[in-house]
Amino acid sequence: MSVVLDSSLLPTLRKYGTFDIEACFNCGNCTAVCPMTSEDALFPRRLIRYAQVGMKDELLSAKELWTCYHCGECSETCPRQAEPGEFMAAARRYAIGRYDRTRLASLLATSRLFAVVFVTALVGLLAAFMYSVHGPQDGSRLELFEFIPLDVVHNMGIAVMALMGLAAIVGVVEMARRVLRAPNGRAVTARGLAGAAVYAVGTESLAQARFRRDCADNSTAPGTSATERHQPWFLQRWFLHFTVMWGFLGLLAATILDYALDLLGLVPTGTAQPIYYPVRLLGTFAGAALIYGASVFVFRRLRRNDRSSKHSTVSDWTFLTMLWLAGVTGFALELALYLPEAPPWGYPMFLVHVAVAMALILLVPFGKFAHVIYRPVALFALRLRG
Report the percentage of the chain scoring pLDDT > 70. 89
Predicted TM-score (pTM) of this structure: 0.87
pLDDT at residue 238 is higher than 60: yes
Pick from 70-74, 130-134, 166-170, 239-243: least confident: 70-74
Question: Looking at residues 284-295, what average pLDDT do you find?
Answer: 93
Average predicted confidence (pLDDT) for the chain: 84
Top pLDDT among 352 and 44 is at 352
Question: Looking at residues 107-111, what average pLDDT do you find?
Answer: 92
Q: What is the DSSP string of 39-84?
A: TTB-TTHHHHHHHHHT-HHHHHT-THHHH-----HHHHH-TT---H
Contact 286, 246 (CB under 8 A): yes
Give the per-residue pLDDT at 223: 45
Give the per-residue pLDDT at 270: 59
110-123 burial, b for 16+ CB within 10 Å, e for fewer? beeeebeebbeebb
Question: Looking at residues 88-107, what average pLDDT do you find?
Answer: 92
Domains in the chain (CATH in brackets) are: 9-99 (1.10.1060.10), 108-384 (no CATH)
Q: How confident is the model at residue 41 (pLDDT cuts 50, 70, 90)?
A: low
CA 116 to CA 113: how far, in whole Å?
Answer: 5
Give the per-residue pLDDT at 224: 47
Phi/psi of residue 41, nearest 5 degrees: -140, 80
Contact 307, 69 (CB under 8 A): no
Top pLDDT among 277 and 375 is at 375
Q: From residue 60, how far is each of 97, 111, 240, 244, 262 by CA, in Å?
A: 11, 21, 28, 27, 45
Question: Looking at residues 137-149, what average pLDDT do you find?
Answer: 82
Give the per-residue pLDDT at 4: 66
Tell me the range of 44-48, 130-134, 313-317 where mean pLDDT is highest.
130-134
HSE-CB of 216 using CA atoms within 13 angstroms: 12
- Can you tell me whether residue 38 is helix, strand or coil? strand
Give the per-residue pLDDT at 164: 93
CA 17 to CA 2: how far, in whole Å?
Answer: 29
